[in-house]
Structure 1
Amino acid sequence: MEVNVSADSGAKSGWQTLPLLHPGIYNLLKFRNGIDTVLASVNLPAGSLSQMRLTLGNNNSVVLNGQSYPLQTPSAQQSGLKFNIHTTLTGGIVYRLWIDFDAGRSIVTTGAGAYILKPVIRTYTEAIGGSIKGYLLPGIAKPAVLAVQGTDTLTAFPDSATGYYFFGGVNTGSWNLSMHALDSTYKDTAFSVSVATGVVTNAGSVTLQKK
């Protein structure tokens, strides 16, 4: 893991390596609905933070129906996964930066029994935007929650037992929440919530009803 602390994202001298707290293999599916893990912690100088870069190891895989398949990650292994941050760090302030993988959109099949990792990633900080949490039941309906604001669409799959779901680092303003059941015998529902900076908006508990 590296960060570019130069105002110029193309400057080679601005990259600084961050030592990982727990190097190893991570199961991305364990980190959802607000559950995360700390990859690195470091003191950075006040000033610009333009980019972050992750260089993955060779032992990447996807498990389908109990069988493990290797994931090809050509770009990640060669130059690393780069994503823009472009923020200014103020001295004496603690910043938390999240890296949010969209696992469902990051795996691509070649059609020949092979799979490629093409990461779809967004980043957000604690000080920007707010969050949305809620509960959607019953788990037997296999529900999903879509949060939509303009052209920005986020997806969460509630915990099968508790129904809990969470969207972190979302923009302030009004968001349309659409509750959809993969089981077509249940009715979908939708409503809007308002998000404020630094606030976790509680969307409440929703139980989908049979048609």
Structure 2
Amino acid sequence: MKFSTLFSLSLLAGLGLAGCSKDNSSDNSGNAKLEVRLTDAPGDFSRVSLDVQQIEVHLKDANDPTGWQFLPFTPQAINVLDYVNGRSALLVSTDFAAGDLKEIRLILGPNNTVTTRDGEVYTLKTPSGQTSGVKLKLDKVTLRQGEAFQLLLDFDVAKSIVERGNWKAGNDKKERFLLKPVIRLVAQDVAGGLYGQVTPAAALPQILAIRSSLTVADTFSTSADATGAFKLQALPAGTYRVELYPTTTAPANESAYKPVTVNGVVVTNNRATDLGALKLN
């Protein structure tokens, strides 16, 4: 099988992997259970379609070209904006030999597109420097016999799609946007989360969770749904500042929608922190 475009995962946080459940069946034959999921941090587009052809992991030393192994995956186009606010797409679920994983990468086909808010569809152009792929190592990733593991690929649309500054309407549509994937890789079973409820729901805010306990802050984002509910999962433990920004304007007969900031939100492993009801007016 031949693929036209090869991308690695831009790793925004270190990865430590631990077992999330035991599988004591006798027919494992030394295997672990490996699951790979995709979720998304939203961006200002109506659709982002990735032509995902294959997912690979590397099992040997970095310089050994024989170390790559395909994971069982059906090639498909995935609208990553379908998987925000706690939702995720199951990409891989398989029995896998226990041992260390050294690297992971996605192989994408040529049919990656972005649809802007006005309904225009643009091909996502691949920078020439990324067509051969950039391999990134995974630190401390060990699959243990009889245990199940989940890897979450958190695709950041806002950072991954770059608009050319010199593009103008009427130019070649293929030249407007570049695809430079930024994907945070997280072990789901060792991560925390936070959730809450916004009123009025019509404010449709974007939510930023900024890990302020780091010297260089790390930011995660989602948006509230039509009921005002929001959820961020697979967050590393730490102290966060949560910022909510309305994306709509209040009707003339209602109080104006206002941004809200919640400081000192503590996220711990394997626990979802409830922020409760948050009023934006």
Please confirm whether the aligned pair reaches a TM-score higher than 0.5, indicating the same fold.
yes
Task: Work out whether 1:175 is the aligned partner of 2:229.
Answer: no
**Percent identity for Structure 1 against Structure 2:** 35
Number of equivalent positions = 206
CA contact (8 A) 2:193 2:272 kept: yes
Which of the numbers 217, 223, 227 marks the counterpart of 1:162?
A: 227
Deviations 1:133-168 (A, max 9, x none): 222232432412111113111122111x11222222
Determine the structure 2 residue equivalent to 1:96.
150
Distance 1:83 1:140, change over 3 A: farther
Amino acid at match of 2:239: S
Deviations 1:82-121 (A, max 9, x none): 4443211111110011111111221111232521111111
Amino acid at match of 1:152: D
RMSD of the alignment, in Å? 2.1
Which of the numbers 110, 114, 126 marks the counterpart of 1:62?
A: 114
Higher relative contact order (CA 8 A, sep 6+): 2
Task: Work out whether 1:147 is the aligned partner of 2:209.
Answer: yes
Determine the structure 2 residue equivalent to 1:208.
280
Q: Distance in 2 between matches of 1:14 and 1:135?
A: 46
**CA-CA distance at 1:179 after TM superposition:** 2.0
Q: Give the unaligned 5+ runs of structure 1.
A: none
Greater than 6 Å deviation, 4+ residue runs: none
Deviations 1:26-70 (A, max 9, x none): 111111011111111222222211211101011111112111111
Determine the structure 1 residue equivalent to 2:167.
112
Q: Bigger shift: 123-132 or 24-33?
A: 123-132
Q: Distance in 2 between matches of 1:83 and 1:63?
A: 29
Q: Give the unaligned 5+ runs of structure 2.
A: 1-54, 169-175, 250-255
Query: Computing the radius of gyration over CA atoms, which structure comes out larger, 1 or 2?
Result: 2
Matches within 5 A, 1:12-23: 12-20=65-73, 22-23=74-75
Q: Distance in 1 between matches of 2:200 and 2:63?
A: 49
